[in-house]
């Protein structure tokens, strides 16, 4: 009887927009439980574990991405309010932010420009195509913004989306260990670095460490997205002018 009930539920969900939403929530809840059971091992980051589980499920069941996204788009919509909500912990750290405002702005600008330029140069040195180089440039920005920038400068938005996720996961995995190795203990400094380099996934990791680190990471994530959208097209044009035929 139980098997019959489960079969009916699956038949209903597979023909309903609820499929994507249900799969997303179940995959993340299970991934998060696994993450906690393994003592919060960074290699089992619930975001990447849930993504891999969803990919495997869609492949095995032959479910198209569009069918999945018809339901999952509700979660996608909530990314906007979730990002705006980061203003709350930032407001709680406003006195600290005011004291370090100038260094924060300078660090953000340098981080955005150096991060994008180094990605292009390293990709070029390894023989990547111009499209791949440009797809890499906005890899440290939150996905919706990065895809728009990539399309504008001549990259491949779908490739950029993958690179953004990979960048965030790598930043969340090695960021805290790198800070420890460099003996960086100031949570505002660590938060800015994490937000600039690893966007939303890095920010989620920062909140696990401390509210201050998470607040500054959220600020850096938002401002770096704005700065990248403003400066990256200019940087690409400058690189093309300096070295014609490179990009």
pTM, two decimal places:
0.76
Evaluate the CA torsion angle 6, 12, 15, 21 in order and state its sign. negative
In a domain, 15, yes or no: yes
Token pair recorded at residue 129: 């195509």
Residues 200 and 109 in one domain: yes
Cβ contact 155:176 at 8 Å: no
Counting the structural domains of the chain, the total is 2
In a domain, 247, yes or no: no
Q: Comparing C-alpha atoms, which of 116, 121, 79 is closest to residue 230?
A: 116
Residues 131 and 174 in one domain: yes
In a domain, 173, yes or no: yes
pLDDT digits (tens, 9 = 90+) for 26-62: 999 999 999 889 887 777 878 888 988 999 998 998 8
Q: Which structural domain, as residue segments, surrounds residue 233?
A: 85-242
Residue 12, pLDDT > 70, answer: no
The DSSP letter of residue 186 is: -
Residue 221, pLDDT > 80, answer: yes
Distances in whole angstroms, Cα of residue 187 to Cα of each of 19, 73, 96, 179, 212: 40, 34, 11, 10, 6
């Amino acid at each position: 009887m139980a098997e019959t009930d489960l079969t009916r539920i699956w038949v209903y969900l597979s023909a309903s927009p609820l499929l994507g939403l249900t799969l997303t929530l179940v995959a993340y809840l299970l991934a998060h439980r696994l993450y906690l059971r393994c003592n919060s091992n960074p290699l089992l980051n619930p975001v990447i574990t849930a993504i891999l589980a969803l990919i495997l499920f869609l492949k095995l069941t032959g479910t198209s991405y569009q069918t999945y996204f018809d339901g999952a788009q509700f979660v996608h919509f909530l990314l906007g309010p979730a990002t705006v909500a980061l203003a709350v912990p930032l407001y709680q750290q406003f006195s600290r932010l005011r004291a370090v405002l100038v260094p924060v702005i300078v660090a953000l600008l340098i981080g955005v420009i150096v991060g994008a330029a180094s990605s292009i140069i390293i990709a070029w040195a390894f023989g990547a195509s111009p499209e791949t180089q440009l797809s890499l440039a906005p890899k440290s920005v939150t996905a919706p913004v990065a895809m728009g920038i990539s399309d504008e400068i001549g990259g491949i938005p779908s490739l950029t989306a993958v690179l953004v996720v990979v960048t965030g996961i790598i930043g969340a995995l090695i960021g805290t260990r790198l800070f420890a190795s460099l003996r960086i203990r100031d949570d505002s400094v660590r938060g800015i670095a994490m937000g600039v380099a690893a966007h939303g996934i890095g920010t989620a990791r920062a909140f696990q460490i401390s509210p201050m680190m998470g607040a500054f990471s959220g600020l850096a994530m938002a401002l770096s997205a704005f700065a990248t959208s403003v400066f990256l097209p200019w940087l690409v044009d400058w690189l093309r002018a300096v070295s014609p035929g490179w990009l």
